[in-house]
């Protein structure tokens, strides 16, 4: 039986949406991941860093940029055994052209050999950045599908994108 897992990073609180910094009760990737889980009957795992990022949006972006420059691998809370899943939908915001560094930690920790990875990003103009290529580089034995970019400001109304992602499961 083929099983699908959604692994995602999402940040609530101060986020950049439609040109403004707004306080989100739920991060955009969490909103999309929950919609996907319901539509695809998939399990969810949220990658949450041990050391939380600053609640202040500008400071958070500085922390994220510093981690990227250092090629950091921040620890995350908990874990999940991915061996029983044939498909992993990977969701993330675009930070400095790629996904948050705790997802690098997650991808490097697990064996994705023979699995299909379906990426999606939430963004406000960066689309997918280099994220799909970064996933392919980190998971060379996986089949990495073309990514789906979702404007964060459209996360609550992204039915077309949800259908696009589900169609890639096969």
Domains and CATH numbers, the chain: 4-167 (3.40.50.360)
Q: How far is CA 62 from CA 17, 18, 57, 118, 169, in A?
A: 18, 20, 9, 28, 35
If you average pLDDT over residues 129-150, what whole number do you get?
97
Q: Which two tokens stand for residue 35?
A: 């919609």
Report the Cα–Cα distance between both ends of the chain, in Å, rounded: 13
What CA–CA distance (Å, rounded) separates 44 from 55?
A: 24
pLDDT digits (tens, 9 = 90+) for 12-63: 877 777 777 878 888 999 999 999 999 999 999 999 999 999 988 999 999 9
Q: pLDDT averaged over the chain?
A: 94
Residue pair 42/5 in contact (Cβ under 8 Å)? The answer is yes
pLDDT score, position 32: 96
- What is the pTM for the complete model shown? 0.95
pLDDT band for position 125 (cuts 50, 70, 90): confident
């Amino acid at each position: 039986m083929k099983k699908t897992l959604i692994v995602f990073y999402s940040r609530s609180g101060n986020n950049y949406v439609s040109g403004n910094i707004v306080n989100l009760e739920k991060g955009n990737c969490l909103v999309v991941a929950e919609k996907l889980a319901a539509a695809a009957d998939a399990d969810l795992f949220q990658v949450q860093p041990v050391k939380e990022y600053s609640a202040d949006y500008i400071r958070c972006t500085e922390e994220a940029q510093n981690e990227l420059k250092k090629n950091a691998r921040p620890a995350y809370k908990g874990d999940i055994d991915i061996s029983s899943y044939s498909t992993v939908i990977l969701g993330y915001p675009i930070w400095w052209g790629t996904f948050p560094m705790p997802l690098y930690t997650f991808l490097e920790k697990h064996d994705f050999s023979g699995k299909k990875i379906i990426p999606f990003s939430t963004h406000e103009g960066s689309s997918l950045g280099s994220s799909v290529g970064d996933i392919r580089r980190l998971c060379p034995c996986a089949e990495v599908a073309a990514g789906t970019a979702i404007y964060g400001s459209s996360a609550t109304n992204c039915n077309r994108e949800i259908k696009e992602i589900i169609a890639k499961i096969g």
